[in-house]
């Protein structure tokens, strides 16, 4: 799967580390990141580094957090539409398209 590496805001990452060391829970850290203007992608990348977890783990943590709960249904709708479009493109058999691999879109995928 393709993920573009995003540059980290080192100052905010360091402040998040300080919060974590002081005992802040993940929800407080996510609220801190939002307060600093981070979007979900920035937060995923930062949490990945901060908590030494995979992209998928960080994404799941953020998607199901209270801090980002106001975006859950919009993001889910976007994912559903993207999945449907990719399934349709894959089923089209168009040889002009690059190979489409649907990994991580379905609940049954690891």
Residue 82's domain spans which residues?
71-110
For residues 53 and 41, membership in a common domain is answered with yes
Q: What is the pTM of this model?
A: 0.66
For residues 51 and 88, membership in a common domain is answered with no
CA atoms within 13 A on the CB side of 63: 13
Residue-wise pLDDT tens digits, 35-51: 999 999 899 999 999 99
Residue 95 resides in a domain = yes
For residues 16 and 48, membership in a common domain is answered with yes
For residues 15 and 47, membership in a common domain is answered with yes
Residue-wise pLDDT tens digits, 61-96: 998 999 998 887 787 877 788 888 888 888 888 888
Residue 86 resides in a domain = yes
Tally of domains in the chain: 2
Residue 88 resides in a domain = yes
What is the per-residue DSSP string for 42-103?
HHHHHHHHHTT--HHHHHHHHHTSSTTGGGHHHHHHHHHHHHHHHHHHHHHT-TTSPP----
């Amino acid at each position: 799967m393709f993920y573009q590496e995003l540059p980290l805001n080192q100052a905010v990452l360091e402040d998040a580390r300080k919060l974590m060391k002081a005992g802040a829970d993940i929800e407080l850290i996510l609220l801190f990141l939002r307060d600093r203007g981070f979007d979900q992608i920035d937060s995923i990348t930062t949490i990945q580094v901060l908590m030494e977890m995979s992209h998928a783990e960080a994404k799941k943590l953020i998607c199901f957090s209270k801090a980002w709960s106001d975006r859950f249904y919009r993001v889910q709708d976007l994912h559903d539409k993207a999945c449907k479009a990719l399934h349709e493109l894959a089923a089209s058999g168009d040889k002009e398209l690059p190979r489409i691999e649907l990994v991580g879109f379905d609940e049954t995928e690891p």
